[in-house]
Amino acid sequence: DASDSWGISVSFISIILLPIVGNAAEHAGAIIFAFKNKLDISLGVALGSATQISMFVVPLCVITAWIMGIKMDLNFNLLETGSLALSIIVMAFALQDGTSHYMKGLVLLLLYIVIGACFFVSKTPLRFGRVGDKDFHAFCYSFAMSCVALSES
């Protein structure tokens, strides 16, 4: 309903807005640790939670939807798969030498802005299973997409 009333795609809400708002305290902690030159703790906070969500929460959503008889799988479209692959590659290059400076942060921030702009202009159709379960499936779809976004950051 928020997507329809705001005129924003569900993908943008679930991949960009929901992770930013939902994990604001965690992001703030990672930024504070980065300002204090504790890059290992900052990376541990950012990448550790993304790993936990991608390894536990996304499969749990798929299994729960399967038990409830709702068609939900991890069959992501080209934009979602491409943005995930691109973010993993850029992050691997940024962490490769073990140092950090403002240019690497700027590149990562610009990549996030470009991915956000792509999801802002795209209108991804929802893939619902049963007719009466649109609300639950939209929640599961948004939750799975936010987990993918968390693993990107």
In this prediction, residue 110 has a pLDDT band, given cuts at 50, 70 and 90, of very high
Residue 141 has pLDDT above 70, yes or no: no
CA–CA dist 31, 85 (Å, integer): 24
> What pLDDT was estimated at residue 145?
55
What is the C-alpha separation between 122 and 84, in angstroms, rounded?
16
Which band of pLDDT confidence, cut at 50, 70 and 90, is reported for residue 44?
confident
Give CA–CA dist 46/34, Å, rounded.
11
Between the CA atoms of 116, 80, 128 and 7, what dihedral angle is there, to the nearest 10 degrees?
Answer: 20
**Mean pLDDT, the chain, integer:** 76
pTM here?
Answer: 0.65
pLDDT of residue 104: 85
Q: What percent of the chain has pLDDT over 70?
A: 78
Contacts of residue 2, defined as CB under 8 A and 6 or more positions apart, other chains included, come to: 8, 13
Residue 107's CB is within 10 A of a number of other CB atoms, namely 13
By the 10 Å C-beta count (0-12 exposed, 13-18 middle, 19+ buried), 54 is classed as middle
112 contacts 47 by C-beta, under 8 angstroms: no
**pLDDT at 98 > cutoff 80:** no
For residue 149, the tally of other CB atoms under 10 A from its CB is 28
